[in-house]
Amino acid sequence: MSGHARLTELVSFTTISKVSTSDWVLASAVFVACAVEMVEALTIVLAVGVTRGWRSTLEGAAAAVVLLAVLVLLFGPALVHLVPIDALRVVVGALLLVFGLQWLRKAVLRASGYKALHDEDEIFRREVDELSALPRASGRDSVGFVVSFKGVFLEGLEVIVIVLTLGAPTHRLGLASAAAAAALVVVALVGLAVRHALTRVPENAMKMTVGILLTSFGTFWGAEGAGVSWPGGDLAILWLLAIYVATTFGLVVAMRRGRPVRMAEAA
């Protein structure tokens, strides 16, 4: 092994061994967010496969994955190398804030009973009913291909946005992609082994956790990009996490208390 290769190996080993706390938080956020999206995508793929046949379904899913990979390869390095870091942090901060608050809002409304919980079994049944009613042509099934492609692409697009927005500002795209890939493997294995395991995934709790994490990172990076220098540096993320966790639980409790009163009034 040449001296240069030995040095490269040493540097990459040192980099891997220096995984900081914020890296773990980042990887966990990406993993959980991707797992939630992939559970939703897998439900659609399974429903399409059972009703329309597996060949076109898997081709549709594979085409979507390839297109998503191309998008990451096109935009990932460009984001990291071409966009100035402060501008990137402002844009990423805004995106993460919007996504995080959307997830958090939905999770709070579900936890407090204002919105029905996400039921993968119910979604599976509905998809199967709708797809069974459509006529089937012989050979390749275009309905199966399109529905599977659309489901995987739309859920995957959220994964891509999360991976790029969390990975790019810290130049940890590799780590974020690895966490997303790990989530893909775990969900696919569990889902294919036991489909009913998907219904036992505590999806709302996961969405709430991800919402809190995305909102915290969004606040931190967005403000940093706008010129704020957080007291305590990266530790400010923990401060933001604590505030958002307390707010979320307070909001759920307050909204749960308010709900029966209104229901009684309505009755």
Partner 1 sequence: MRYVRAFGRFWRDFLIGDTPELAVGAVLVLLLAYLLRRADGAALLLIPAAVVTLLVVSCLRARPRRP
Q: Which is nearer to partner 1, 61 or 237 (by Cβ)?
A: 237
Task: Tell which phi-psi region holds residue 75, choosing left (phi > 0), alpha (psi between -120 and 50) or beta.
Answer: alpha
The candidate with the shortest Cα–Cα distance to 152, out of 38, 255, 21, 17, is 38
> Is residue 67 a contact point for partner 1 (CB under 8 A)?
no
Q: Which residues of 251-266 are buried (b: 16+ CB within 10 A; e: fewer)?
A: bbeeeeeeeeeeeeee
What residues numbered 237-266 form the site for partner 1, per CB under 8 A? 239-240, 243-244, 247-248, 251, 255, 258, 262, 265-266
Asked if 164 touches partner 1 (CB under 8 A), the answer is: no
> What is the nearest approach in angstroms of partner 1 to the Cβ of residue 97?
4
Q: How far is CA 36 from CA 6, 102, 113, 187, 198, in A?
A: 40, 14, 20, 9, 10
Stretch that binds partner 1, among 70-78, 116-124, 188-196, 218-226 (CB under 8 A): 218-226
Establish if 94 lies at the interface with partner 1 (CB under 8 A): yes
Cβ closer to partner 1: 174 or 258? 258
CB of 57 or CB of 165, closer to partner 1: 165
| CB-nearer residue toward partner 1: 128 or 255 | 255
- Does position 229 interact with partner 1 (CB under 8 A)? The reply is yes
Residues 27-66 that bind partner 1 (CB under 8 A): none
Q: Collapsing DSSP states into helix, strand and coil, what is residue 202?
A: coil
Token pair 């990009």 is found at 225
The residue range among 32-40, 44-52, 90-98, 143-151 that interacts with partner 1, by the rule CB under 8 A, is 90-98
- For the chain, the maximum distance between any two Cα atoms, rounded to a whole number of angstroms, is 80
Single out the residue of 30, 68, 97, 163 in contact with partner 1 (rule: CB under 8 A): 97
Question: Is residue 157 a contact point for partner 1 (CB under 8 A)?
Answer: yes
Spatial contact of 61 and 149, defined as CB atoms under 8 Å apart: yes
Q: Which is nearer to partner 1, 123 or 157 (CB)?
A: 157
Q: Is 2 left (phi over 0), alpha (psi -120 to 50) or beta?
A: beta
Q: Which residues contact 143 (CB under 8 A, 6 or more apart)?
A: 52, 131, 134, 136
Q: Which of 207, 219, 230, 66 is nearest to 149 (CA)?
A: 66
Interaction between residue 195 and partner 1 (CB under 8 A): no
For 179, the token pair is: 């966490």
- Binding status of residue 218 toward partner 1 by CB under 8 A: yes
Q: Which of 49, 93, 144, 156 binds partner 1 (CB under 8 A)?
A: 93
**CB–CB of 180/30 below 8 Å?**
yes
Binding interface with partner 1 (CB under 8 A): 90, 93-95, 97-98, 101-102, 104-105, 108-109, 114-115, 157, 215, 218-219, 222-223, 225-231, 236, 239-240, 243-244, 247-248, 251, 255, 258, 262, 265-266
